[in-house]
Amino acid sequence: MARDPKYDVLFEPIQIGPKTLKNRFYQVPHCIGAGSEKPGFQAYHRAIKCEGGWGAVCTEYCSIHPESDDTSRVSARIWDDGDVRNLAAMCDRVHHYGALTGIELWYGGPHAPCMESRATPRGPSQIPSDFEINIHPRYMDRDDIRTVHKMYVDAAVRARDAGFDIIYVYGAHAYLPFQFLSPYYNKRTDEYGGSFENRARFWREALEQVREAVGDDCAIASRFAVDHLFGPASIEVGEDGVRFVEYVDHLVDLWDLTVGDIAEWGQNAGPSRFFEENHEKPYTGQIKAGNHTDKPVVGVGRITNPDTMVAIINSGQFDIIGGARPSISDPFLPKKIEEGRLDDIRECIGCNQCISRWEIGGPPMVCTQNATAGEEYRRGWHPEKFSTARNADKGVLVVGAGPAGMECAMVLGKRGMSAVHLVEADKEIGGCINWISQLGHSDGKENLFRGSARGLGEWARVRNYRQIQLEKLKNVEVHTGSRLSASDILEYGAEIVIIATGCRFATDGLNPATHDRIEGADGTLDWQLTPDEVVRGGKQIGQRVLVLENEGYHMGASIAQKLAGEGKDVHLVTQSGDVASYMEYTLEAPMLHRDLHRLGVDIHTYTMLEKIEPGACHAYNVWDPGHKDVLEVDTVVLCTQRLGNDALYHELRADRDRLRSEGIEDVFIIGDAAAPRMIVDSVFDGHRLAREIDSPDPAMPLPFIRERRLWGTASNDDYDGELRAAPDTLPLEALGEEVPA
């Protein structure tokens, strides 16, 4: 299909300094866990988006010097020629698709803990980080300022040599240039502190020197948080925000605008639970609306809807549509708009699982909607291309249409299996998504500061995208309202059977804290509920409710929010030091805590239950079990742990002779049915099996490429040509190490 003319504006070229952006789709810098250490991952992940139509893609934040080292998180680095070589692989691959590459030069100041380099970060004043724990910067005198400016320039030159088209002097998220600009960090009394011009001087000089060094060859960009969201204590958009844009506008070719800082960067990478699409508009929208810049402006806000994109351009809010998560969820988003295939767009659900893995520090990025994200290089997965399976003549029965089953059936269909039947016991497909997407609400009121508990409605996109795709696949049949027994499956006629029957909550209090049941816990009683029962209804919920939350992700907190929002008196009990601790990684925690606090939820940390009886829960402190308390409640919600629905799988596998006689070649189990997990991992599990259904042993994942140093191979030649070994280790030759002449 042809593109709808109303979207033509999105495909207009934009001039950015000396470079031409071929359309208005721009992947802003975002972390993936590749950095400069995994050049294959970096190159293939970024370039797949360019194949999908993105006009520009950027690296994640890229350290300019060992003094800006974010270990244990993974940043890119452009410290030396080795980094140039690795990042050049990304540039080459991106340029192959006619797209531009950007690099975000980063010096973190006290927000860089330098755990690998052991360096001491410098900062405008000796104010410790409000993000990292106990990291104080060294006060920068004028020589230090010159030194750090030179780091920017040297890094910019290396970036140009690597092939980057757009070079950022990155000051958003409260990193060093912003620290100079903001009186929240900058307490100086010299010409780099005090007045606006003084506070802006460091950033202005950095821009001047980088422009002088590479400005003829590359476009110069700056990422700027127009409002720190701290009020008069820091940068406010209506004050120094617009003032700074006007002050250095002549030095940049592109503005990349955000809000907030790194300590609470969920205000920028807003989870859908609290923020709607284009949520930054009240702040970032002021820059062009007030004619404060002559330069192109790119901004973000989980913008996935093409109509929203057009409205943003036509209203003059931004010139360029920025995307981080939308580009992860659907690298082919621009191409699908261009080809009039809007119903094929795999919209981001705003769960921030992608961010969580970077926040944890090591693993590659993942995506709930796009199981191929991060797998482009190491597993060779393409988000839109599927090879025909070598055993495509086989019929497949997928039992259970939750996230894993839907994904598996969809990919099997795209791989051309002759017949795929997806059979679901419920009336609708979707599995847990159908009730989880109804959570996350409280009473709809604003939080104390920012965002409101608008709920997990966008998570239903996990179901909606797959439902549309399944309907399009002629070789896939979906049957609902049909609960299959083992004999039904044996007689079904499929040669491959995949069990994706999901999981259930424990009803007896079995939990990860004690690995035991809880006396009196009994989900069959009408005053004890599992989380899904709270949503589905059917049991009366009293005024006084205790939610026992042992999982550590969102479920217990979501239930507490919902019930407190409905006016119940809620106790939220956890064995941990914090409720829903994983939500720190998804950036949802600050808003969640504000909402729980505002709603008056009574949180009991380091607490477990030893006994539940009508009207009362007997609790104890996990560090001091003798310290007990009795909480008088009417209703108990048991969010303790889940159990895989694997009985069908084991029953089938127990009788291999019967399987053979019925012509069933193999039986597999995927997703929560195998082991309860996060939705992102269930989707991956279903996808992985379908991708490898024709491998020698589909139950065992194929090995993936590991980008690592292989001992005994020469890979230090880009550093200083000198391989070093500690004096008491074996000579390099003995280890098979190639010793340079």
Q: Are strands 544-549 and 642-644 parallel, antiparallel or unpaired?
A: unpaired
Task: Using the Cα atoms of residue 350, residue 355, residue 359 and residue 360 in order, give the sign of their dihedral.
Answer: positive
The kind and range of the H/E element at 246 are helix 242-248
Helix, strand, coil percent values for the chain (each to nearest 5) = 35, 20, 50
Residue 221, strand partner residues:
168, 254
Alpha-helix residue ranges (DSSP H) falling in 75-195: 81-96, 142-162, 176-181
Considering the complex, state which of residue 259 and residue 397 has its C-beta at the smaller distance from ligand SF4: 259
Alpha-helix residue ranges (DSSP H) falling in 98-232: 142-162, 176-181, 196-214
Alpha carbon of residue 423 to chain centroid: 31
- Rounded to 10 degrees, the C-alpha dihedral 69/73/78/79 comes to 30
Distance CA 503, CA 642 (A): 6
Q: Which of 252, 307, 259, 264 is nearest to 281 (CA)?
A: 259
Q: Are 511 and 639 in contact (CB under 8 A)?
A: no
Considering the complex, state which of residue 117 and residue 353 has its C-beta at the smaller distance from ligand SF4: 353
CA 342 → CA 337, 429, 643, distances in Å?
A: 6, 22, 38
**The two three-digit tokens of residue 135, written as one number:** 């990291």
**The two three-digit tokens of residue 596, written as one number:** 């729980």
Residue 639, strand partner residues:
549
Q: Are 622 and 606 in contact (CB under 8 A)?
A: yes
User: How many of the other CB atoms lie within 10 Å of CB of 577?
Assistant: 9
Q: Are 241 and 227 in contact (CB under 8 A)?
A: yes
**The two three-digit tokens of residue 718, written as one number:** 């880009």
Q: Tokens 């497909």 map to which residue?
A: 429
175 part of the active site: yes
Considering the complex, state which of residue 258 and residue 528 has its C-beta at the smaller distance from ligand SF4: 258
Residues 6+ away with beta carbon under 8 Å from 249: 292, 293, 294, 295
Instruction: Report, in Å, the least distance between residue 58 CB and ligand SF4.
Output: 16
Q: Are 45 and 375 in contact (CB under 8 A)?
A: no
Distance CA 639, CA 518 (A): 12
Three-state SS at 323: strand
Residues 6+ away with beta carbon under 8 Å from 435: 532, 535, 536
Residue 398, strand partner residues:
422, 498
Distance CA 486, CA 650 (A): 10
Q: Which residues bind ligand SF4 (CB under 6 A)?
A: 325, 328-329, 348-354, 367-369
- The single-letter code of the amino acid at 194 is G
Instruction: Report, in Å, the least distance between residue 276 CB and ligand SF4.
Output: 14
Considering the complex, state which of residue 57 and residue 148 has its C-beta at the smaller distance from ligand SF4: 57
Instruction: Report, in Å, the least distance between residue 49 CB and ligand SF4.
Output: 12
Considering the complex, state which of residue 299 and residue 326 has its C-beta at the smaller distance from ligand SF4: 326
Question: Residues 175, 185, 585, 649: which is the catalytic one?
Answer: 175
Q: Are 106 and 179 in contact (CB under 8 A)?
A: no
528 backbone dihedrals φ, ψ, rounded to 5°: -120, 130
Q: Are 545 and 554 in contact (CB under 8 A)?
A: no
Considering the complex, state which of residue 469 and residue 574 has its C-beta at the smaller distance from ligand SF4: 469
Considering the complex, state which of residue 353 and residue 645 has its C-beta at the smaller distance from ligand SF4: 353
Instruction: Report, in Å, the least distance between residue 354 CB and ligand SF4.
Output: 3
Instruction: Return the biggest CA–CA distance within the chain.
Output: 86
Q: Are 210 and 154 in contact (CB under 8 A)?
A: no
Catalytic residues, by residue number, are 175
